[in-house]
Amino acid sequence: MNGYKQININTSQPYLVHIGKNILYENILQEECTRFIKKGWDKLIIIADYNLPVKYHRELQDFLKVSLQDKSPNFKIELLSFKITEQQKNRDTKEQLENKLFELNCGKKTLILAIGGGVLLDIVGFVAATYNRGIPVIYIPTTLLAMVDASVGGKTGINTPYGKNLIGVIKQPAAVLIDVNTLESLPAPDYLSAMAEIIKIAVILDEELCNLLSHHKDTILLRDSEFLIKIIYASVQLKKQVIEQDEFENGMRELLNFGHTIGHVVEKLEGYLITHGFAVALGMWIESNLAWQMGCLNKENLNKIQDLLSLYFYNKIKISKIDDLTFNQILLFDKKVKESKVHYVLVKELGKFYSKDNKYSFPIIPQIEQDIVNLFENNPLIFCADQAMDSSYV
Ligand SMILES: NC(=O)c1ccc[n+]([C@@H]2O[C@H](COP(=O)([O-])OP(=O)(O)OC[C@H]3O[C@@H](n4cnc5c(N)ncnc54)[C@H](O)[C@@H]3O)[C@@H](O)[C@H]2O)c1
């Protein structure tokens, strides 16, 4: 199979991440489903993003009907395709999905196949985690961001008016299938958005990956499939190291929040209309500055991190004017608040994080925190009409 790679995730429920080109119609998916059919599962519900080309849902359903019902004629395969955006990643949508499953008479022996970006996987994963006290879900991520991040590690959740991802559970999927072919139809801003999560894991854990991202921007943005498999594989391997050590976020997993403390505030302020990755890119730019102000990161490494972010996001991120008071109010609703203090992941140098006494996130001194809003002023990542030539995506 074309560039096929496999990663074994050894969490409380172990599973395989399959990565390759053109692998959706190979027998991997059938084999993953057959494991459940053999154990008495009687239904597969495909829940897919309506925006996807039909070959990734309706035609896939037809293919699975032929290949799975041939051997197990009583095995039912239904498709629910629906429109889902970040603004709809909420309690109402979760309830609607659950009601659909009840209407389809789904019981404990139902397997879910979730096909879409991080928004769809997060909410469908959460539905699967609580429906009938938990039914298995296989993920087919179709955005680069979901391939490198949201599909692996088991975090599921929804947003509330109080903030992002504030309700959810950690439930590992039964398997993950990453087919880089699905990225062909992904809009350019959504593709670029994913570079933030790849840069994030590289900046905290892997200088070599940072260098690869610095030197191969054009190949990456051209969506070269061989190169894509390489960086997806590298990112998932890094995430695997973290989640296997700390599946339930009692320590090291907090590192994956680098850029997200500020990023989540930006997303909330923008009414979830900004892509997640753009908010995280801005968050990383600001949070690396905080690490420098705290004396944790030297100027040379700060420049390296900000140069890498600028390479992909210079003048790309459109946001409204940040209001000081609202910004600070939202900041305090984040999950990363401990003992009334907002905690930040602090980078030590390119590819290395700061930790002390088994702690991975830290409060910063109040004067520095008060000035965060100023870091949005003249920020090179934020779209400025004067430099409009640089605002094209790919
Ligand atoms: N669970 C986790 O560990 C984790 C990690 C990172 C991010 N997330 C979450 O992921 C979400 C962001 O995910 P995202 O960036 O994938 O956004 P998304 O799911 O909103 O997808 C972006 C857009 O691309 C469309 N789309 C998806 N695949 C497509 C394809 N192949 N072709 C054409 N269009 C396609 C979608 O309809 C959507 O309009 C956020 O809610 C974030 O909180 C979760």
Cα 348 to averaged position of ligand 1 atoms, centre (Å): 30
Is any ligand 1 atom within 6 A of the Cβ of residue 185?
A: yes
Q: Ligand 1: which of 119, 183, 240, 280 to mutate, most ligand atoms within 8 Å of CB?
A: 119
Is any ligand 1 atom within 6 A of the Cβ of residue 263?
A: no
Is any ligand 1 atom within 6 A of the Cβ of residue 141?
A: no
Cα 155 to averaged position of ligand 1 atoms, centre (Å): 14
Cα 292 to averaged position of ligand 1 atoms, centre (Å): 31
Is any ligand 1 atom within 6 A of the Cβ of residue 153?
A: yes
pTM of the model: 0.95
Q: Ligand 1: which of 123, 267, 276 to mutate, most ligand atoms within 8 Å of CB?
A: 276
Q: List per-residue pLDDT tens for the chain, 394 residues long.
A: 678 999 999 999 999 999 999 999 999 999 999 999 999 999 999 999 999 999 999 999 999 999 998 889 999 999 999 999 999 999 999 999 999 999 999 999 999 999 999 999 999 999 999 999 999 999 999 999 999 999 999 999 999 998 889 999 999 999 999 999 999 999 999 999 999 999 999 999 999 999 999 999 999 999 999 999 999 999 999 999 999 999 999 999 999 999 999 999 999 999 999 999 999 999 999 999 999 999 999 999 999 999 999 999 999 999 998 888 888 888 887 767 788 899 999 999 999 999 999 999 999 999 999 899 999 998 999 998 777 655 676 5
Alpha carbon nearest to ligand 1 atom 27, residue: 117
Is any ligand 1 atom within 6 A of the Cβ of residue 270?
A: no
Cα 143 to averaged position of ligand 1 atoms, centre (Å): 6
Residue 391 has what pLDDT?
Answer: 60
Is any ligand 1 atom within 6 A of the Cβ of residue 276?
A: yes
Cα 150 to averaged position of ligand 1 atoms, centre (Å): 8
Is any ligand 1 atom within 6 A of the Cβ of residue 119?
A: yes
SS (H, E, C) the chain: CCCCEEEEECCCCCEEEEEECCCCCCHHHHHHHHHHHHCCCCEEEEEEECCCCHHHCHHHHHHHHHHHHCCCCCCEEEEEEECCCHHHCCHHHHHHHHHHHHHCCCCCCEEEEEEECHHHHHHHHHHHHHHHHCCCEEEEECCHHHHHHHCCCCECCEEECCEEEEECCECCCCEEEEEHHHHHHCCHHHHHHHHHHHHHHHHHHCHHHHHHHHHCHHHHHCCCHHHHHHHHHHHHHHHHHHHHHCCCCCCHHHHHHCCHHHHHHHHHHCCCCCCHHHHHHHHHHHHHHHHHHCCCCCHHHHHHHHHHHHHHHCCCECCCCCCHHHHHHHHCCCCCEECCEECECCEEECCEECCECCECCECCCHHHHHCHHHHHCCCCCECCHHHHHHHCCC
Q: Look up residue 239 and give its amino acid.
A: K
Alpha carbon nearest to ligand 1 atom 12, residue: 118
Active site residues: 133, 155, 197, 239, 249, 253, 257, 260, 264, 276
Cα 317 to averaged position of ligand 1 atoms, centre (Å): 17
Residue 390 has what pLDDT?
Answer: 59
